[in-house]
Structure 1
Amino acid sequence: MATETHETVASACLDSHGGAIGMPQLCGEWIPHQIFWLLVALAATFFVMSRIALPRIAAVLAERSGTITNDLAAAEELKNKASEAEAAYDKALVDARAQAQQIVAEAKAEIQADLDVELAKADEQIAAKTAESEAAIAEIRDGAVKSVTDVAKATAKELVAAMGGKADAKTITAAVTARMKG
């Protein structure tokens, strides 16, 4: 009987020469069987998708969503910490600059005080050396004037004697002294 049914369906889709008429899928006798197997395949696919594939996909999506949410929260927290760290760094930098300026000002004041003390010592030493030098110069000048006066007196005495005159020491001393004054 199964052979007869199959032969009837098969004979329905053959032409008068025994060849197939077009596409067998479009044979009107086969359409109910194709619809049945289509529904069975769709039901099996739906069952597999709903019981196995879709729960796994949903779990992966939920995990990714959770990971993304956690990562965004962590990024926001790190951003806040970075902002706080930057603010702390800026404050520390401003404080360090102020402290550096204060140290520089203190160092300048200390150096200036040391410089003033050393300048005062140097001025005292220069004044003492100047006074010594002036005293030595005055002594040398006095010695030079006395030596020049003595040489001038001796030279004048010799010149007067060479010219055949006679001059006393008092006259020569008066003439040399008058000439020395200008």
Structure 2
Amino acid sequence: MFVTQAYAQADSLDAVELPPASDTAEMHGETIHVEGEHGGFPPFNAEYFPSQILWLAITFGIFYLVLKKVILPRIAGTLENRRDRIALDLEAAERMKSDSDEAKAAYEQELAEARDRAHKIGHDAREAARSDAEAERQRLDAELDEKLEAAQLRIAAVRDEAMKDVGQIAETTADAILRDVIRLEVSREEVASAVTAVRS
């Protein structure tokens, strides 16, 4: 085991017995200063305050420089990136909202146009059906008028034919009544003129 000179001196100092009450001792003609109990914990010792303040200022300065040059720019960059991303997201959302509004307006316009077209088609269909029904009614009326006129002509012809026969029957009946019942001799011409006068 290797022992350095400093460790050897420290061991030799530990082996030396010091007088308990005095702050100095003489060994081999040398004066050794020994710290007493009045020294205490060094950071709380007022003798070390200036150096502690100096190191505190140096440490704070280094920390401030690191904070200013490294940490704060990174935080600022992160915040700037996040702000830009939020702005882009808001812009995209606004653009999507405007697109959806335009699509909704176009849809409503197309729906209104389709509704108008449907109303127009329905109205045209109703008008066409009404005109077709009117044309069919007029055709049926004309056909019925023709049939009625033909029926009236047939009825008139049948009536005239029947009336012709009625006149003949009336003349025959009147002549028979006058000859057989009344026993009156009348000529056929007189009976015919009398029946014709009665018929007219």
TM-score by length of 2: 0.50
Give the aligned residue type for 2:175: K
List aligned pairs for 1:28-177, cutoff 5 A: 72-160=90-178, 161-177=180-196
Larger proportion of helix: 1
Deviations 1:33-91 (A, max 9, x none): xxxxxxxxxxxxxxxxxxxxxxxxxxxx9999788666644543332122111110121
Give the Cα separation in 1 of the matches to 2:83 and 2:171.
Answer: 125
**How far apart are 1:144 and its partner, in Å?**
2.6
**Structure having greater relative contact order (Cα 8 Å, sep ≥ 6):** 1
Give the aligned residue type for 1:88: A
What residue in structure 1 maps to residue 68 of structure 2? none
Give the Cα separation in 2 of the matches to 1:110 and 1:71.
Answer: 57
User: Which runs of 5 or more structure 2 residues have no equivalent in the other structure?
Assistant: 1-78
Aligned-residue CA RMSD (Å): 5.0
Give the aligned residue type for 1:125: E
Give the Cα separation in 1 of the matches to 2:182 and 2:81.
Answer: 138
**How far apart are 1:178 and its partner, in Å?**
1.0
Identity of aligned residues (%): 31
**How far apart are 1:145 and its partner, in Å?**
1.5
**How far apart are 1:132 and its partner, in Å?**
0.7
TM-score by length of 1: 0.54
- Which shows bigger deviation, 94-103 or 139-148? 94-103
Give the aligned residue type for 1:141: R
**How far apart are 1:128 and its partner, in Å?**
1.9
User: Which runs of 5 or more structure 1 residues have no equivalent in the other structure?
Assistant: 1-60
